[in-house]
């Protein structure tokens, strides 16, 4: 599906906003795209460099096979048709952040084209192309505006990127952010991207119906939240401009995260503004059917397929399955817990309780680094009713502060649930006697009063009473 067709289709859907993304993903390889310099290591400026990534005359680039393999797997995972040949071009333009003043990229024949990625609401975001290219250097701006200067760090120059270009299929900032989350999920499953060390940036093309879909491109937005903020601002900016009678022009804009605004950089370039020539130092590479078949055979079960299987195999709701399958390590943990206990238990404790803790700490299961065995030990205590849910939630929070054996901790601090119904009934009767008005309200059918009494029992027992048993005993006492 080409860009013109996608634009036509977007208008037919009568959307007032259309967004397309160009995402640059740094591939998690040990060395750069065309030389043996390390992609990680010393952060001392300009130390991970050589003649090739500094563009010295006579230096010869050599393609990194690991980068090709990673790009090929990503293109296949996105459903792209793979090109029979890999061809690189020199993209000549004024590049202050590339020493040789051109970027080695793919232009005439991308590695992959014609893919798609589905969003939760069924929207298909079509992938126009996925191609390999080198990353420019880092520009470090020093001093105040108008009086500053710029330093260049070439450590990043030459890092392998895969650029994914979408059709303008997204209808707002939230859809754009969802697409990026789904893309990162695929990257994580493929193990070709490290969210902690690799860089992901996006250029966003935004247009609105009121202007006749005259688009602005926002360059180099880093971070998912910033992308959503930038898109939200730009849509409102364009709408307000049209309301004021201003004529929008096709242009390139920058995003200032501190000020929360976009600003004009230049009129939008077209492909004619770039000079593309085939790179004479890089021979074309045949991508054979066997290479494609081998890469396809080594693809893991991806998030969309895993979500579908979770629904069918474990009878999990689609929304729960989608969240559990989004992170590869969490999906593995879910299957482990579901097989050891049952799927409903796994959903309750992973999808809801564990996810709540991870969200509060703004981390993921894999990044948290908690030993899976400690979590399973805690779940065994819950399943056997050795501890109450309330105690288990508290222990789950504590496990993320420091690792310990839940079984030993429960024994040491005497946190085991009260199993003696006679003892618990005495406590419940005492609470009822001390709160006669609440007891009368319960008899009148007020659920808040019942929850109040149950809360009192839980407080009295320091959370060691089973709330369900406490409810039964209170009702039994009130019926006498």
CB 326 within 8 A of CB 310: no
For residue range 177-198, list pLDDT tens digits in order.
999 999 999 999 999 998 777 8
The CA distance from 323 to 327, in Å, is 8
Residue 49 lies inside a defined structural domain of this protein: yes
Which residues have C-beta within 8 Å of that of residue 305, sequence separation ≥ 6? none
**Could you tell me if 79 and 150 lie in one domain?**
yes
Q: What is the mean pLDDT of residues 299-320?
A: 96
**Could you tell me if 343 and 457 lie in one domain?**
no
Answer yes or no: is pLDDT of 346 > 90.
yes
Model pLDDT, residue 12:
40
Residue 467 lies inside a defined structural domain of this protein: yes
For residue range 28-73, list pLDDT tens digits in order.
999 999 999 999 887 899 999 999 999 899 999 999 999 999 999 9
**Could you tell me if 101 and 182 lie in one domain?**
yes
Residue 11 pLDDT class (50, 70, 90 cuts): very low
**Could you tell me if 192 and 108 lie in one domain?**
yes
Model pLDDT, residue 10:
38
Residue 203 lies inside a defined structural domain of this protein: no
The CA distance from 8 to 176, in Å, is 19
Model pLDDT, residue 429:
82
**Could you tell me if 328 and 274 lie in one domain?**
no
Q: What is the mean pLDDT of residues 190-216?
A: 90
* Count of structural domains, the chain: 3
Model pLDDT, residue 414:
85
The CA-atom distances, in angstroms, between 307 and each of 170, 216, 303, 316 are 22, 36, 6, 9
**Could you tell me if 159 and 114 lie in one domain?**
yes
Residue 91 lies inside a defined structural domain of this protein: yes
For residue range 68-126, list pLDDT tens digits in order.
999 999 999 999 999 999 999 999 877 678 888 899 999 999 999 999 999 988 899 99
Residue 190 lies inside a defined structural domain of this protein: yes
**Could you tell me if 189 and 134 lie in one domain?**
yes
**Could you tell me if 337 and 470 lie in one domain?**
no
Q: Which pTM was predicted?
A: 0.84
Which helix or strand (DSSP H or E) is residue 325 part of? Answer: helix 318-326
Indicate the DSSP class of residue 302.
P
Which residue range(s) make up the domain with 445?
421-478
**Could you tell me if 400 and 275 lie in one domain?**
no
Answer yes or no: is pLDDT of 328 > 90.
yes
Final residue before a domain boundary, out of 354, 385, 412: 412
The CA-atom distances, in angstroms, between 337 and each of 311, 334, 426 are 16, 5, 36
Model pLDDT, residue 249:
92
For residue range 449-467, list pLDDT tens digits in order.
888 888 887 787 777 777 7
Residue 27 lies inside a defined structural domain of this protein: yes
The CA-atom distances, in angstroms, between 326 and each of 160, 162, 208, 321 are 25, 21, 31, 8
CATH code of the domain containing 426: 1.10.10.410
């Amino acid at each position: 599906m080409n860009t013109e067709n996608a634009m036509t289709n977007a208008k037919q859907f009568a959307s007032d906003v259309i967004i397309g993304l160009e995402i640059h993903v740094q591939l998690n390889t040990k060395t750069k795209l065309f030389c043996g310099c390390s992609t990680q290591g010393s952060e001392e400026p300009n130390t991970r460099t050589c003649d090739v990534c500094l563009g010295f005359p006579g230096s010869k680039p050599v393609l990194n096979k690991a980068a090709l393999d990673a790009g090929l797997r990503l293109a296949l995972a996105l459903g792209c048709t793979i090109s029979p040949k890999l061809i690189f071009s020199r993209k000549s333009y004024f590049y202050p952040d590339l020493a040789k003043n051109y970027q080695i990229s793919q232009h005439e024949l991308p590695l992959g084209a014609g893919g798609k990625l589905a969003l939760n609401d069924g929207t298909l975001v079509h992938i126009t192309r996925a191609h390999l290219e080198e990353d420019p250097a880092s520009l470090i701006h020093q001093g105040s505006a108008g009086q500053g200067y710029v330093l260049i760090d070439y450590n990043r120059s030459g890092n392998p990127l895969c650029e994914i270009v979408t059709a303008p299929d997204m209808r707002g900032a939230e859809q754009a952010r969802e697409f990026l989350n789904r893309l990162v999920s695929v990257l994580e499953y493929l193990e070709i991207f490290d969210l902690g060390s690799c860089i992901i940036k996006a250029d966003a093309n935004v247009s609105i119906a009121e202007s006749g879909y005259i688009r602005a491109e926002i360059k180099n937005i880093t971070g998912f939240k910033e992308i959503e903020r930038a898109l939200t601002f730009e849509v409102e900016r364009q709408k307000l401009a049209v309301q004021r009678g201003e004529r929008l022009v096709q242009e390139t804009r920058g995003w200032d995260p501190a000020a929360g605004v976009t600003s004009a950089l230049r009129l939008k370039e077209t492909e004619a503004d770039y000079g593309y020539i085939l790179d004479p130092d890089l021979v074309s590479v045949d991508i054979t059917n066997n290479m494609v078949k081998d890469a396809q055979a080594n693809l893991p079960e991806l998030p969309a397929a895993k979500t579908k299987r979770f629904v069918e195999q474990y009878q999990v709701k689609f929304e729960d399955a989608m969240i559990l399958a989004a992170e590869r390590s969490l999906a593995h943990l879910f299957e482990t817990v579901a097989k050891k206990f049952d799927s409903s238990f796994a959903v309750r404790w992973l999808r809801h309780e564990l996810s709540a803790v991870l969200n509060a700490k703004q981390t993921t299961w894999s990044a948290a680094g908690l030993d899976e065995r400690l979590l399973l030990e805690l779940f065994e205590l819950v399943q056997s009713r050795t501890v109450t849910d309330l105690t288990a939630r508290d222990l789950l929070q504590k496990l993320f502060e420091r690792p310990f054996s839940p079984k030993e901790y429960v024994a040491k601090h005497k946190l085991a649930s009260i199993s003696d119904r006679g003892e618990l009934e005495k406590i419940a009767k005492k609470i009822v006697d001390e709160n006669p008005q609440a007891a009368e309200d319960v008899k009148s059918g007020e659920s808040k009063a019942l929850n109040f009494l149950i809360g009192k029992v839980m407080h009295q027992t320091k959370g060691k009473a089973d709330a369900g048993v406490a409810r039964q005993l209170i009702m039994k006492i009130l019926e006498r």
